[in-house]
């Protein structure tokens, strides 16, 4: 069969096309061929087979590849390939045993993760593995999963002995501490190659917000060069193939909303190990609308992070932080970048909570430096920020990554949501605020989002604005305002 | 958007096609539109969206529907339809709670099953539900699942007060008792509308074997007419929409090989209730290579059948049978049909085990007749079989359903597998025998399969044939013989 490229895109799925008749296959055989393996001996991909009745699309002796399959196989049109029914991955037997209640050993889990990283599992099969793990997982299994995920892709190497990183488990809008912590650490001279994700369900990820100021989509050479020059980077992690199994698992975890502590630990630590980190601060915000809702839960999660991290040779410091409300004022890329730069510039009106949180976390990281062990990190972080050295480091980092030429502005369509009566703000619901910001258009529309004008503990008069929604379109503003008017996310207690 | 039919078949999935550009959608928006709901206000379907670059396939203002989606929507080409991002089924929240370890109530399960029956779940989501249930399920949940599945489709109604059925949980090759039991029961005058499946993983299902003799693909009117005339039918169940959720769940259970007692009970009983049965005999074969391997397991399964069956108003009799080896001699449609007819004709060389098993099960069913309660069923079944009344009932049934004109023969390519040394056959592995028969071509090739020449307990000399493989092609014979030579499935103890 010769490859023919078909202008149909079914990403993220691979699709192959074959004429229904004249190939020597019976309808029954096509049933078995629904999932096929295609290759030329050197490379192979798995694809779902679609049957074509229209001979305009495809000739005899040709196998069509949709855009996604064509890209992934990477062979030119006309290449001779063969195909066969996709073999069932042997490791599915382990998944079946896990479903039946068995615990899996290191090798079982390694085989499963290798098959997933090689795209040999369907979403249904990945879902089965994840749900079986979500119902019960031993610490040994969590450790094995983390190690297998870290090993499944490439691993970055750095010249420095100490390579630090920080990670927040997420869930708190506006929590853009990394963009302040990284320049502080870089100014001190520790190596901190921070790769971040884009937002998947939140109004902005660190990569989305950094992109307001500089390019974050760095090729690997470029990323390494920036780190060598500046000790740090604030880049999107999608370009470097770190823990690829994690990226695949996430595509199934998100729609099924599987978010157990075990999978969280494996996901975060596998990425950090693959990124070459040796020392890591993990930020766990605790609050009624955060991912972790009590000290008790937080301690259980910390122990799991510590157990797995230490077994894998990571020096780990887990910090509990206040997760009762959003951090800073802006929610959404442009508004968050504004807050970050205000803190770095030591502006008088910079959000105090974002500054305090960032300095605390930076301080904990700095104490990985043997010279600062034992509580001297906070003062050093404050010094680096207050003196403008952190701002200078940030400006160098922006230039090294590639400064964005135009200055992005908050969305020109805006609407204020006001207090229903006089009182004190006693709660801000992180989920609701995040949903409103996303409806306004964040993170795709960089300037869309929310500007919080009042935070928890502040007094408001009746009809005084609580926050302002920004959008780049009337539609976005409409959707967001509609939800905000139904559920503002604020509790104002008279 | 106007419908355009696209000659691409992606069954069992629905695919819709849209031009990538010129529709006012951004690439980001298409991401959200990956799964869409299409409809004209009266009917809707869900489909996966593929983006088309080739304007030859599709014009502006047109939405393409693949063959499967076009069939399922059922609207003519050119009909104006609208589409939107497929809404996430609300019942997925219940699935998430089940994954987290909650038990679900009747309403939760009903909502899940209704959404599944309406094709609102992806295979990944169905897999998540099934795996969560496989890890733990209360008897109350099993009952609710069975009831919801039975209610999700249509329910057949019959004139008779007593409508009997039998079901074997499967796993034993050659176990074609239904084709003997049904004519015995029909000859007695009880109503037994037996619908069966085709083989999915076995070498033949009752529908495949009956099809050697008569048409089994009966439209509903025809099926009802046959039952009214003959008290019975032996038809394929695929035409009548009984427990449609079960058919959908099976497409995910099979590849994941989820086969818990709870799901087995819900699947079997929901189909029987939907088929209008009032009295049911369940046959549970016990053996080392059967689905149930010990008396203890069988008792647990029986209790679950009884609990759910009785709660749903079914009169249930669970029979344990010998599952240590295949039943009869033939494995595969033609060879099994030969055995069945030999038993019905009272041939001297008819397989005694198939005859004995069938009469036992028929006897248990006959005791649902108040006139035969208390142990008189066996003798009555023997009388109906021995007198030729059962054979006459079968001939009438074949004529009523539509007798097959040509007589099908066993595959002309054959090969005998011989004893490695002298001794006694002490074990026959049901799995291995089934796999060899499938490799030979069964059930697609009606004459392919295995003819067992020796059974457990029989003496053989060295090189004496144990069984004969039949196939319609040299390839089929080759594949099957290759496995049989590596693993014959027979244990001959010297």
Q: Directed axis angle between helix B123-135 and helix B261-274, to 10°?
A: 120
Count other Cβ atoms within 10 Å, centred on residue A221: 8
Residue A251 pLDDT grade (very low, low, confident, very high; cuts 50, 70, 90): confident
Alpha carbon of residue A316 to chain centroid: 20
**Could you give the dihedral angle defined by the CA atoms of residues B220, B221, B227 and B233, in that order, rounded to the nearest 10 degrees?**
-40
Range name among A141-145, A146-150, A205-209, B8-12 with the lowest pLDDT average: B8-12
Instruction: Tell me how far apart the alpha carbons of residues B323 and B173 are, in angstroms, rounded to a whole number.
Output: 10
Task: Report, as an integer, the average pLDDT of A318-338.
Answer: 96
- pLDDT on residue B328: 96
For A224, which DSSP code?
H
A164-239+259-401 in CATH: which number? 3.40.1030.10
Q: Is the pLDDT at A161 greater than 80, yes or no?
A: yes
Q: Which residues of B touch A28 (CB under 8 A)?
A: 444
Among A13, A217, A247, A259, which one carries the catalytic annotation?
Answer: A259
Query: DSSP state, A427?
Result: E
Selecting from A9, A66, A124 the residue whose C-beta is nearest the C-beta of B127 gives: A124
Contact flag B127-A132 (C-beta cutoff 8 Å): no
Mean pLDDT, chain A, integer: 93
According to the model, what pLDDT value does residue A26 have? Answer: 67
Given this model, what pLDDT does residue B424 score? 97
SS3 label, residue B102:
coil
* Sole residue written with tokens 């100014």: A187
Burial class from Cβ neighbours inside 10 Å (0-12, 13-18, 19+) for residue B322 reads middle
Q: Bigger pLDDT: A13 or B465?
A: B465
| A256 vs B contacts (CB less than 8 Å) | 92, 95-96, 99, 124-125, 128
Contacts of A405 (CB under 8 A, 6+ apart): none
Q: Are A210 and A340 in contact (CB under 8 A)?
A: no
Q: Tell me the longest C-alpha to C-alpha distance in chain B.
A: 79
For A189, the token pair is 């001279």
DSSP, collapsed to helix, strand or coil, labels residue B92 as: helix
pLDDT of residue A107: 97
Per-residue pLDDT, averaged over A349-376, amounts to 95
The strand order across the sheet containing A413-418 reads A330-331, A449-452, A465-471, A413-418
Looking at residue A275, what DSSP letter applies?
Answer: T
Chain A residue with minimal CA distance to B132? A131
Q: Which two tokens stand for residue B192?
A: 């037994």
Res. A452: pLDDT tops 70:
yes
Please give the pLDDT value at position B28. Answer: 60
As a whole number of angstroms, the distance between CA B167 and CA A480 comes to 56
pLDDT tens track for A257-312: 888 999 999 999 999 999 999 999 999 999 998 899 999 999 999 999 999 999 99
Query: Could you give the CA distance from residue B440 to residue A465 in angstroms, rounded to a whole number?
Result: 77
Per the CB < 8 Å rule, is B123 touching A126? no
Domain coordinates in residue numbering, chain A: 2-85, 92-152, 164-239+259-401, 413-493
Percent of chain A scoring above 90 in pLDDT: 79
CB contact under 8 A, B9 and A255: no
- Tell me the C-alpha to C-alpha distance, in Å, between residue B480 and each of B158, B173, B435: 44, 16, 8
- Of residues B170, B156, B220, B166, the one with CA closest to residue B192: B166
pLDDT the model gives residue A42? 86
Alpha carbon distance A213, B453 (integer Å)? 80
**Site from B30, B50, B98 to mutate, A interface, most A CB atoms within 10 angstroms:** B50
A280 Cβ contact partners less than 8 Å away, ≥ 6 residues apart: A164, A165, A166, A167, A269, A272, A309, A314, A315, A316, A317
Q: CB neighbours (10 Å) of residue B462?
A: 12
The reply to whether residue B10 touches residue A96, judged by beta carbons under 8 angstroms, is: no
Q: What is the pLDDT of residue A244?
A: 87
**Chain B positions in Cβ-Cβ contact with residue A67 (cut-off 8 Å):** 53
Give pLDDT tens digits for A66-113.
998 999 899 999 999 999 888 889 999 999 999 988 999 999 999 999
CA distance B411 to B109: 47
Q: What's the half-sphere exposure (Cβ side, CA atoms, 13 Å) at B389?
A: 14
State both tokens at A411: 């969305």
Reference B353, options B208, B167, B177, B165; nearest CA is B177
Beta strand A44-52 pairing with A35-39: antiparallel
Contacts of B26 in chain A (CB under 8 A): 444
Name the residue facing A132 among B48, B54, B131 (closest C-beta).
Answer: B131
CB atoms within 10 A of CB A77: 11
Q: Reply yes or no: is the peptide bond before residue B138 cis, omega within 30 of 0.
A: no
3-state class (DSSP) for residue A79: coil
CATH class, domain B2-85, is mainly beta
Closest Cβ–Cβ partner in A28, A125, A255 for B444? A28
Longest alpha-carbon distance in chain A: 79
Q: Which CATH architecture has domain B164-240+259-401?
A: 3-Layer(aba) Sandwich (3.40)
Which strand (E) or helix (H) includes residue B133? helix B123-135
Is CATH 3.90.1170.30 the right assignment for the domain spanning A413-493? Answer: yes
- Looking at this predicted complex, what is its ipTM? 0.78
What integer is the mean pLDDT of A189-217? 93
**Token digits of residue B439:** 């490799």
Contact assessment for residue A476 and residue A415, using Cβ atoms and an 8 Å cutoff: no
Profile chain B (494 residues) by mean pLDDT over runs of 10 residues.
Answer: 92 88 71 84 88 84 92 93 88 93 96 92 91 93 97 91 95 93 98 90 92 95 96 90 88 85 95 96 93 95 97 96 95 98 97 97 97 93 98 98 96 96 96 94 94 96 97 92 94 95
Instruction: Give every CB contact of residue A132 below 8 A, 6+ residues apart in sequence.
Output: A95, A98, A99, B131, B135
Q: Do A48 and B128 touch (CB under 8 A)?
A: no
Q: Which of B27, B135, B476 to mutate to test the interface with A (most CBs of A within 10 A)?
A: B135
Q: How far is CA B326 from CA A417, B283, B333, B341, in A?
A: 74, 15, 14, 18
Which of B11, B51, B124 to substitute to test the interface with A, most A CBs within 10 Å?
Answer: B124
Residue A240's pLDDT is what? 82
Q: What is the pLDDT of residues A18-72, one digit of tens each?
A: 998 877 776 666 766 788 999 998 888 889 999 998 778 888 889 999 998 999 8
Q: Is B39 helix (H, G, I), strand (E, B) or coil?
A: strand
The pair of structure tokens assigned to B25 is: 């959608």
Identify the architecture of domain B92-152 in CATH.
Answer: Up-down Bundle (1.20)
Task: For residue A10, give the chain B residue with the closest CA.
Answer: B50
A100/B128 Cβ within 8 A: no
């Amino acid at each position: 069969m010769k490859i023919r490229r078909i202008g149909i895109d079914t990403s993220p799925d691979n699709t192959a096309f074959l004429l229904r008749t004249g190939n020597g296959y019976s309808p029954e055989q096509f049933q078995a061929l629904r999932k096929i393996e295609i290759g030329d001996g050197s490379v192979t991909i798995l694809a779902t087979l679609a049957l074509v009745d229209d001979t305009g699309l495809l000739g005899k002796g040709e196998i069509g590849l949709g855009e996604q399959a064509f890209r992934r196989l990477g062979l030119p049109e006309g290449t001779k390939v063969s195909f066969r029914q996709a073999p069932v991955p042997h490791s599915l037997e382990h998944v079946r045993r896990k479903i039946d209640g068995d615990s899996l050993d290191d090798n079982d889990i390694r085989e499963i993760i290798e098959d997933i990283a090689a795209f040999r599992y369907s979403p249904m099969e990945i879902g089965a593995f994840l749900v079986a793990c979500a119902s019960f997982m031993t610490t040994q299994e969590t450790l094995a999963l983390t190690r297998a995920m870290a090993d499944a892709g490439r691993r970055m190497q750095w010249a420095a002995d100490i390579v630090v990183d920080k990670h927040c488990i997420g869930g708190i809008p506006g929590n853009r501490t990394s963009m302040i912590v990284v320049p502080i650490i870089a100014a001190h001279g520790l190596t901190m190659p921070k790769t971040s994700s884009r937002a998947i369900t939140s109004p902005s990820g660190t990569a989305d917000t950094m992109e307001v100021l500089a390019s974050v989509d760095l090729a690997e050479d470029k990323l390494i060069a920036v780190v060598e020059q500046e000790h740090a980077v604030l880049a999107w992690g999608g370009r470097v193939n770190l823990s690829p199994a994690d990226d695949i698992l996430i595509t199934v975890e998100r729609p099924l909303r599987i978010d157990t502590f075990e999978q969280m630990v494996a996901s975060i630590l596998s990425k950090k190990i693959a990124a070459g980190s040796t020392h890591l601060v993990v930020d766990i915000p605790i609050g009624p609308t955060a991912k972790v809702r009590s000290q008790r839960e937080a301690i259980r999660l910390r122990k799991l992070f510590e157990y797995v991290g230490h077994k894998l040779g990571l020096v780990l410091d887990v910090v509990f932080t206040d997760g009762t409300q959003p951090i800073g004022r802006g929610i959404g890329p442009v508004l968050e970048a504004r807050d970050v730069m205000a803190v770095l510039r030591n502006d008088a009106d910079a959000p105090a909570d974002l500054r305090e949180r960032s300095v605390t976390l930076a301080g904990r990281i700095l104490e990985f430096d043997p010279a600062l062990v034992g509580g001297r990190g906070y003062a050093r972080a404050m010094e680096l920020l207050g003196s403008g050295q952190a701002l200078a480091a940030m400006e160098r980092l922006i230039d090294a990554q590639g400064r964005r030429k135009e200055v992005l502005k908050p969305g020109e369509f805006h609407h204020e949501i006001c207090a229903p009566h006089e009182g004190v703000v006693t709660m801000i619901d992180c989920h609701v605020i995040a949903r409103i910001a996303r409806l306004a258009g964040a993170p795709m529309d960089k300037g869309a989002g929310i500007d919080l004008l009042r935070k928890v503990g502040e007094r408001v008069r009746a009809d005084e604005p609580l926050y302002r929604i920004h959008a780049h379109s009337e539609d976005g503003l409409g959707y967001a305002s509609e939800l905000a008017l139904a559920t503002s996310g604020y509790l104002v207690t008279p």
